[in-house]
Amino acid sequence: MSGHSKWATTKRKKAAIDAKRGKAFTKIIKEITIAAREGGGDPNGNPRLRLAVDNAKAVNMPADNIERAIKKATGELEGVSYHELTYEGYGPAGVAIMVEVATDNKNRTVAEVRHLFSKGGGGLGETGSVAWMFDKKGVVTLPKQGKSEDEIMEIILEAGAEDLQTEDDFYEVQAAIESFEPVRKAILDKGLAVENASLQWIAKNFIAVTGEDAEKVVKLIESLEDCDDVQNVYSNADIDESLLS
């Protein structure tokens, strides 16, 4: 199966750090709020909300936080209305970058994202400028849990998965959007824990970036991820993991 960006491993490491300081909670709460607002507050009848709630539980988010976010979205409690947007741009060395945001102020967010791109040696592009370099895929990340790659392959291929990557203590499964939920369900039905499941922008081809350019790309991506309104950042950079602390 095809290769995958080394940035994925780093996103998980960084997510673990973010969770300790509450940033991961904030991102998941936004996702729960948006999902409940668009599809209703019942996870059983709202697949996107069910997925968001499962991801919240995976990072040990208290049930009260989840319930409060749903009630704010459905109007039972006063809450903020978020807009979902995707920005596209280029970083150093011509690296393509996709930025997903959830914001209550579009003007503030686009100004900040544009500033971060410019400061990081890149530039914010027009809609469609880099999206053609990516495919939207369902991605399921799960700890190895003593399972071999062949055992996982047997489970996911029957459910329609396209790709399996082995990274450190994790497996990362990719699937087309229409196969995403069947693949996730197949994994859960086998009693396996899922660390995260989400739709992600996966680059069709990757650019090897080294030296000073690599350091600049890492700094830009991390600055974007640190932006309060940013939910996810994806790129087609293939970077030496020793630079990704």
Handedness of CA 111, 114, 117, 118 (dihedral sign): negative
Mean pLDDT (whole number) for 3-8: 46
Which pLDDT score, from 0 to 100, does residue 11 have?
58
Q: What is the DSSP letter of 76?
A: S
Same domain, 126 and 139: no
- Picking from 76-85, 87-96, 183-192, which range would have the lowest pLDDT averaged per residue? 76-85
Dihedral sign, Cα of residue 145, residue 152, residue 138, residue 2? positive
Does a structural domain hold residue 245?
Answer: no
pTM: 0.85
Question: Residue 192 domain-assigned?
Answer: yes
Radius of gyration of the chain (CA): 18
Compute the distance between CA of residue 166 and CA of residue 149 in angstroms, rounded to an integer: 8
In the prediction, which pLDDT does 14 show?
52
Quick one: 209 and 121 in the same domain? yes
1 in a domain, yes or no?
A: no
Tell which of 25, 46, 74 closes a domain.
74
Question: Closest Cα to residue 198, out of 1, 8, 3?
Answer: 8
Percent of all residues in the chain with a pLDDT value above 90, rounded to a whole number: 78
* 212 within some domain: yes
